[in-house]
Chains A and B, each alone.
Chain A
Amino acid sequence: MLEIRWHGRGGQGVVTAAKFLTDIALFQNKYFQAFPEYGPERMGAPIQAFTRIDDNPINIRTGIRRPDVVAVLDATLIGTVDFLNGLKENGTILINTPEPPEAIRRVLNIENKPYKVFTVNATHIALETIGRPIPNTPMIGALVKALNLAPIEVVLEFLEKSFSKKFSEEIVRGNVDAAKRAYEEVQEG
């Protein structure tokens, strides 16, 4: 079972990102779960969301305590939220930041840990493609690359389909571009 824990702030699209992955899982005939940790949902307050994907039916419904992956949509959470808590030994970290992975390893004091660290400047990409600092779609693109979840074309197609229900063509295009760029620009280290 793949367990992803998303960290971000209210308004950054954390829950949407967690739920979007289920569309891909559905397409791949896998079992899935996505749910937010609901609390006081204020804009800017730290929040979490969870995604589980498995080949078998998923029984557990508790929050994810031992994630395989943590995806952090906001680098200002470093030092505020203990997002590494419970991360599996060889787990994956994906952070939205302009810094390279080595710098993040230093900041998080995990230089000697076997974690796989990925960084992507999702906010910057979002501003250039969508025109608003909402980092969730670029984070999806980056995560797809980091975890080799599915062919990027499939993901972009789903993104287009899912966003077309709610948004204008311009915004849909921006989001698709954002995911694609992040897929290409994400760094590992």
Chain B
Amino acid sequence: MKKIDITRIQEFSPEEHPIGGHIQDAGNSELYKTGSWKTFMPEIDFSKCIQCLYCFIYCPDSSILVEEGKVVGVDYDHCKGCGICAAECPKDAIEMKEAIEEE
């Protein structure tokens, strides 16, 4: 079964599709950037953060970045700005700010 460049699937000619559309590249959802969907973006105030990891547990898009057991930031490429992390944070350490195109 051929490996495919999943990011190009929208441009594929008929022959480029794998048989039956069976995609064998595991973890390819990461290639699909959903970060641009958001209106509000979470910002973590680390002076208030107690590293309870609630935000990491609740985030539906696995967009809270954790290193060595500690929250270190937000994956803005995939965060859709739902605000669940801010709502669940027991210390109000996460604030939803208006997302501004930064690039």
Do any beta carbons of A and B sit within 8 angstroms of each other in the complex? Answer: no
Residues of B within 8 A of A (CB): none
